[in-house]
Amino acid sequence: MAAASDVARLAGVSQSAVSRAFTEGASISAKTRQRVMVAAEQLGYRPNQLARSLLKGRSNIVGVVLGNLQNPFFAEVLDALSQSLSAAGQRLLVFTTAANAEVDAQINDLLHYRVDALILMSTTLSSSLARQCQAAGIPVIFVNRTGQVKQCWSVTGDNEGGARQIARHLIEQGYQRLAFMAGFADSSTSCERQRGFCDELARLQQPAPQLVCGEFSREGAINAARQLLQQAVPPDGIFCANDHMALATLDVARHEFGLTPGKDIGVVGFDDIQAASWPAYQLTTFTQPIGPMVKRATECVLQGESRSGETSAVRQQLIAGELIRRNSTSRKPVATVATN
């Protein structure tokens, strides 16, 4: 591929002129720029971003690591992130990983590319690597997960508050034998939701919920749901740590155990993914507003851009959500409409 010097030769100018022709606001006359552009067009030249990045020390690339694209929530977030960061002139270098795996290898790889920032979703980071990122001045942003390391940014939903509201809601609706379906034991997300749920139940002087683990996956949730429902005295209310598992639980309850969601059993999720509002599910859930979360994550990325002396005290941002009541916890079914 043609280089700037080739274009320069053809246009009869210096390589600097070519560079300036492609730089917004550089000191160059209209005439020269014009001549350069013609030559560039002719040779199919475009500036080599790699060389530019090498020189500037910024790649305009953000590394994104996520497990579990199966979960539509993450697909939605990725989509939004892509839009938002693209608008901010950043590209996304994406890695997917086996869910919840330690991803040091991939991240190490990303660091080789001198990414401007690192966004981690549903993923853990070793503290040694976190320190290295810190040292390299690369901001690390956890989305929907809290980093163990304090230097990292994080953007999460209101896990504990949401879980408390869900607990109250289930009790108010008259469900009595409750269960919590966890994701991963070492996920802050799952733990916080569990804590909020259990604490609030305790506060209401309700018995502690039965605990089971669905591993944030559909298969795991199906197994966990079966395990719960085939008991002699099964629970009549299940709070699943996310919508993805809640949908699976609804399917098992309805189609394997013949239960009517809402009436025979209450099921609640977390996230408010699109499918939660589909008439086939009508899942009660607590929202994690993707717009604000992504907006905040983008801010963190750009924050690191202008390395303005460690500003912004609050590194752990919590985005408020709200409880969406749907048929899956409604004793008397409401008319369903196919929305969205």
Residues 6+ apart with CB under 8 A from 317: 153, 154, 155, 156, 296
User: Contact with DNA (CB under 7 A): which of 10, 39, 45, 107?
Assistant: 45
CB of 133 to DNA, least distance (A): 17
User: Contact with a second copy (CB under 8 A): which of 5, 16, 108, 312?
Assistant: 108
Residues 6+ apart with CB under 8 A from 294: 77, 80, 81, 84
Residues 6+ apart with CB under 8 A from 309: none
Binding mask 35-74 for a second copy (x = CB under 8 A): ---------x-xxxxxx-xx----x-x-------xx-x--
CB neighbours of residue 50 within 10 Å: 10
Candidates 272, 255, 254, 257; CA nearest to 322 is: 272
Contact between 256 and a second copy by CB under 8 A: the answer reads yes
Contact between 20 and DNA by CB under 7 A: the answer reads yes
CB of 126 to a second copy, least distance (A): 14
Phi, psi of 46 (to 5 degrees): -145, 145
- Separation in Å, CA 160 to CA 61, 200, 318: 33, 9, 10
Q: 243 forms bridges with which residues in the sheet?
A: none
Contact between 233 and a second copy by CB under 8 A: the answer reads no
Candidates 150, 223, 159, 156; CA nearest to 190 is: 159
SS3 label, residue 304: helix
Contact between 122 and a second copy by CB under 8 A: the answer reads no
Max CA pair span of the chain: 87
Binding mask 202-221 for a second copy (x = CB under 8 A): ----------------xx--
Contact between 111 and a second copy by CB under 8 A: the answer reads yes
Tokens 């330690």 appear where? 102
Contact between 335 and DNA by CB under 7 A: the answer reads no
CB nearer to a second copy: pick between 73 and 197: 73
Q: 318 forms bridges with which residues in the sheet?
A: 156
Contact between 56 and DNA by CB under 7 A: the answer reads yes
* C-alpha span between 178 and 275 (Å, rounded): 24
Q: Which does 5 bind (CB under 5 to 8 A by kind): a second copy, DNA, none?
A: DNA
Q: Which does 336 bind (CB under 5 to 8 A by kind): a second copy, DNA, none?
A: a second copy
Q: Which does 174 bind (CB under 5 to 8 A by kind): a second copy, DNA, none?
A: none
Strand 323-324 to 285-286 pairing: antiparallel
Q: How far does CA 128 lie from the centroid of its chain?
A: 23
Contact between 91 and a second copy by CB under 8 A: the answer reads yes
Name the residues that contact a second copy, by CB under 8 A.
1, 44, 46-51, 53-54, 59, 61, 69-70, 72, 75-76, 78-79, 82-83, 86, 91-96, 106, 108-114, 132, 135-137, 218-219, 222, 247-248, 250-252, 254-256, 274-275, 278-281, 336-338, 340
Name the residues that contact DNA, by CB under 7 A.
1, 3-5, 12-17, 19-20, 22-23, 26-32, 45, 47-48, 51-52, 54-57
